[in-house]
Structure 1
Amino acid sequence: MSNLQGKQNVTSVDYRKVVLMSLLLAVTSFIFMSLNFLFFHTIIELFSILVAFSIFIIAINTYSITKNCYFIFIGISFGFVGLYDLLHTLAYQGMGVFPGDTSNLATQLWIIARYVQSISLFIATGFLFKELKPAVISLGHSLVAAFLFAGIFYWDYFPDCFIPGQGLTLFKVSSEYVISIILLVAVYLLYRYRKHFHDRVCMLLITAILFTIGSELAFTFYVDVYGLSNVIGHVFKVVAFYLIYKAIVETNLKKPYNSLFFQLKQTKDDLEETNAKLTKEIVQHKEAEVQAKKLYKAVEHSPSVAVITDNEGYIEYVNSKFTEITGYLREEVMGKKPNLLKSGRTDRKTYDELWETISSGKEWRGEFLNKKKNGQLYWEQASISSIISSQGEISHYIAVKEDITDRKQAEEVLKRYQLLSKHARDIILFIGADGKIIDANRAAVRAYEYEYEELLELNIKDLRCDKVKLVRSQILKVSEEGVLMERFHCRKDGSSFPVEISSQGMVYRDEHIRMKIIRDISERKVVEKELKQAKETAEAANRAKGEFLANMSHEIRTPMNAIMGMTDLVLDTDLKDTQREYLSMVKTASGSLLRIVNDILDFSKIEAGKLDLEKIDFDIKAITKQTIEVFVFKAEAKGLKIDYYIHPKIPHIISGDPVRLQQVLNNLIDNALKFTEEGGIYIKVTMEELVNNLIKIKYEIKDTGIGIPEDKGDLLFKSFSQVDGSSTRRFGGTGLGLVISKRLVEMMGGSISYTSEPGTGTTFSFTVTMMVPDILFVDNNNDEIDITSNGIANLRNHNKTKTKNSGGFKALIAEDNELNRELVLTQFEMKGWDAVAVENGKEAVEAFDNYNFDLILMDVQMPEMDGFEATALIRNKEKREGGHVPIIAMTAHAIKGAEQECFRAGMDYYLSKPVKSDALYSLIKKILDDRE
């Protein structure tokens, strides 16, 4: 309430005038009362009402100028008090305005007016510190008035205040005392906050309230409404209203407008003296102005916050750094106190010490935890001094403050680190900018075997055993990026141990320090050494395993090639039924053995993570048909039927590994045939989704076999496990087929699952995800795809066409195994092809030099000269002399990379032993066709 704080010459109320006016009013009132009490009551109440309305009108119309919330609240309150008093006057006994014409209604309205008046004076001091719009104050009074009027005129729940013949009720008398107590509290509050008022205005208000208390007490004694105490009460009320009116006029009218017409009269001598002083001081003022501008510029652009307040703490100036730090604009804080920055987190004792210090003219230094406009907390370090005027009094205060939030946070972090480091198992050192150790934890004392005080005398370099100098980039990686660094540190006795170091920079008390967390990794190094040795041992074992599997593959496949080949040749001759039956058993057993070998090799490669999938374009429909066709004879032999369906939307050509896809399909169809005694097998191939160039294809193999018991399902995809593991089981196998199929399907981006009902059948489903080349198309020919078992028979007969006569075709066969040489020669003779056989690579090169061949079948592993070297010599000769003879590699090495190694050596085709006759014939037919 700065507009109330000016000092005037007249600072006290002229109580003689007040007493004289009161006596005059009392005598006049007594005379009028003697003549006609009703007329007296009406006149004196109307005077009070006019004064109340005048207070209301003045307060409302001057608020826009004074912005005085205290007096606007008093003015609006007295406007409503005037309304209540007007109704009280009209309801007075003898006026005849309201029905009943009793004194009780008038007394009820009177007590309401006094309650509103006293409570308003009581709570008005609250508006010295808070602002409230006049409309809100008016709305609050209107709601209260509506409630009170309803209680008197409508619901009739307001207590009686006067009973004719008995006088005042207990409620009325008690209320007058309560009102007096409220008014006494209002007097206390006015006195407490007197510094917010001009002295004269404050005394006018206090005197008015005291007269009001006297008025209330007078009204507690009368029995007859026309009694003397009633007259005294009304007189005191008029005086009280008048004094409040005077306070309103003094504050809102007289003082503001007197200041506009300040007395500018001065004598001629005063003006001449003033002009002389101004003329003399003008140069000094100009110089001071230049200095002031420099000072202002320095303060305005200072890196520190600057705030200037008056002697009561109201802000008069803030620099740009203040607005930058706090977020408040200048206009938002001018005329307000700096306590708008309070966060509530700074101890009250700090503020008490601050005001005690600067009020005595001394400088205060300290810290605050303040709050910005956006609610963010920040720390300030402040230096606050008083500015002494020429009269020797404090006129202003100036504060220079610095944002130390980062420093406080760093100190807090350091405190937490120090607290944690005491009990940490790792070594923690705090290093100064010069490398000197400034703090260490207990783990450091134990590890380096120095006393704590001894450590603080060392530089971090003194702890290093390895004197390797780090370049700046390495240091930055360790400190800023958190990269761990390994070094050797020394104990006090000179022994060394390996450590792992991480570093973190921070600022503590304006000094850049570094915290190093150092871990003794001696045990880890031992474990790493053991792990490295174990890894090398495992890798050696894995290499030995690979070599063993490669040798086993070669040693088993080589004789198997002869056994299976010769068996096929003998089966094509005239045999007795018994002989044919025995040889068929041999062929079946050989095939089973070969599958077991293949399964073990595949499983080993999968387990070692060395089985890679090919990615080539192939006809998935043709591959699927060919795979199913292989099982047609076997199914017919058991009296079973095979049907299949391939969805027409599946593209012909996709990119993936056709061999592994066939392997999975073979395993599942073979299992279905194995466990099905009657009925049949149905294979369904559909397309689940096609997104961009990725296609997901689903295979379903459904049989009508024995099914899988529910409690045995978890054994299906376990290595070397079977549903029937008893010694009397009917069905053989290694128990690897489904395990390998599951791994292959997962490698092809799919999954495998099954559903089964014992005694009814089983359905295995698997999906694979493959690429669709851009050139592929979708075949919509349903007739081609929807093939039944009858169609399979026709397809089988179609494939029995003979290879046409080769004419002058001649082949060279290089094979070190005698049985295998004889097998291939016999197969060629049956086809009518001419062939020359040799035992090793050296003989193959000599034969190539002496004869012209159309084809070479080259074994890879042979004595004296292997197939790779022989191929290289043949290709070198062809480069010199021209020509190119196709070479088919034949090898029992069914390990990863064997096929690619053959191609790199210069061979054109690849067949894995044991070589099937159909595969050999098909490949040679293709070569012959390409030759023509």
Structure 2
Amino acid sequence: MDKINRITISLAVFCGLYISSLYNYLLFHSIAEGFAVVIACSIFMLAWNSRTIVDNAYILFLGIAYLFIGVIDFLHTIGFLGMGVFQHYGANLGTQLWIGARYFESISLFIAPLIMDRELKHQRVLAVYGAFFTLFVLSIFTFDIFPVCFIEGSGLTPFKKNSEYIITLILAASIFIMHRKKDKFDPDIFKLLVASIAVTILSELAFTLYIHAYGLPNLIGHFLKIISFYLIYKAIIGTGMTKPYALLFRDLKQSEESLRTSEAKLRSLYDAMTEGVAIHDIVYDDSGRAVDYRITDINPAYEKITGIDRNNVIGKTASELYGTGTPPYFDIYEKVAESGAPAQFDTYFPPMNKHFSISAFSPDKGKFATVFEDITGHKQAEEKLNTYLNQLEKANRQLSDFAYIVSHDLREPLRALNSLANWIAKDYADTFDESGREKLRMLTGRVRRMDDLVAGIHRYSQAGRLIGNKTVIDLQKVVSEVISMLNPPGHVRISIEGTLPSVLCERASMEQILQNLIGNAIKYINRPDGRITISSAAEGNFWKTCVEDNGPGIAEKDHERIFQMFTVLQPRDKVEASGVGLAVVKKIIEMYGGKVWVESEVGKGSSFYFAIPK
């Protein structure tokens, strides 16, 4: 069943990769090469960090080699045709970096078994690889003397093809040398390494056939490369984690002195840990049934966290020590000790009135160790934070509801007052002189302005609620619809610069943002040749959109103030404005995790920008 699952997962992964290549070959290429780079760097980290405790020249040599192979493969990835990182290089750069990485890899695999019985001077090896890597990079990027590998229109050069054949021969020779030293390898690891090299050979042959960087042979070659690096991952990384003492050599031994040194280091680490550690043995009854567990060792942090002295702990059973009758978490610990599967859980332990985060693992059948930390403070802080958040949410909800109720209740008498003023103006039109009629017009204007302010308060209170489920919307289409709805006057020309992107947001809130920004631009343009331009561009992880106009402009001292509630720069008798629109825009955009700002000078127009995450 496990084999079938692995095959099913593998097929699913390769199908996904193939689909990604159809969608965007650069995406597929980056995934394939990124996988290889991660594996290469992981091999280096495993080899480098184990160099002081494992006398393994083969794995250390390959680890250093794969560090530089991974770096070159990374340069190849970002230098591949279409990535745009290295300008003016074309497809030749990626091909040159590829052939260089494969020379490094094949020669390293050839040399590694030859020096496996020798003492490796890792610093010297690192220096030699660093020197060759530097010369290789300089030959491409600085001196431009590395042979051309790919010519646009004609494909691979003879040097590239011949190099692939030479690399193939070197890889085949490395298999031959490994076979002669087969007895020094773990059988399973040997098979995986040979299989990895064999698949690499097939990959190299595939790369002699393509004439275009995105061609089918290139695709096949990268699939084979993924398989090759997966096999070497299984041989080195997988084995290094699951069976470290079977890694490459079955006769690996450490000297008595190194064992003592390692033990001292581990003991020092054990004693210095801030987490509590306890070692336990499962206790069985006469029938062989697990009934309890006994504490055999603890570290100093255990005493500090629990407040129990070491002398009162060692040798005691859990039920005796903690006075719980049933051993705490016995079902979990018994399963760990019997199956070897680790466990992790957070719990509240009433006898100590504390919260703990506990990890349990089994070093041997019938034994288990726990590593724990006191998270009582975190839990209390979390509970307090949740209480504050609930209170804040409740307060915001009440405030929003209050704003809605107030705005609703205020607008009713305002509408009545407006209707009454209109009736008076109509029924007593002949009674009022010009001064009376002007005062009546002022009254209706003030009523209408008050109604706008109350409506603005309502819009502001509801702005956050507009953001529901985000979807990808066509900003070009939304802007066009908003412009049509606003119906700009004849003296204002509105244009869209370039093609606006599709963005992830809630449609209604985006419409409100654009209505306010474009509507404001239309409202304040005071010239016969009014012009408004809308544009958008990618900026890091954000889409930055601009609404630019050639209106009167805004003084620098007001750039921040205009986004505050009820701020209107011109006298209210000259312009119909509530001063709420930009405040609503700011609130919505900030709820998206974005920002809004203005760049403007008096007499030179204004540019309103907003940026929202992609």
Tell me the TM-score normalised to structure 1 length. Answer: 0.26
Greater RCO (Cα-Cα under 8 Å, separation 6 or more)? 2
Tell me the TM-score normalised to structure 2 length. Answer: 0.39
Structure (1/2) with the larger helix percentage: 2
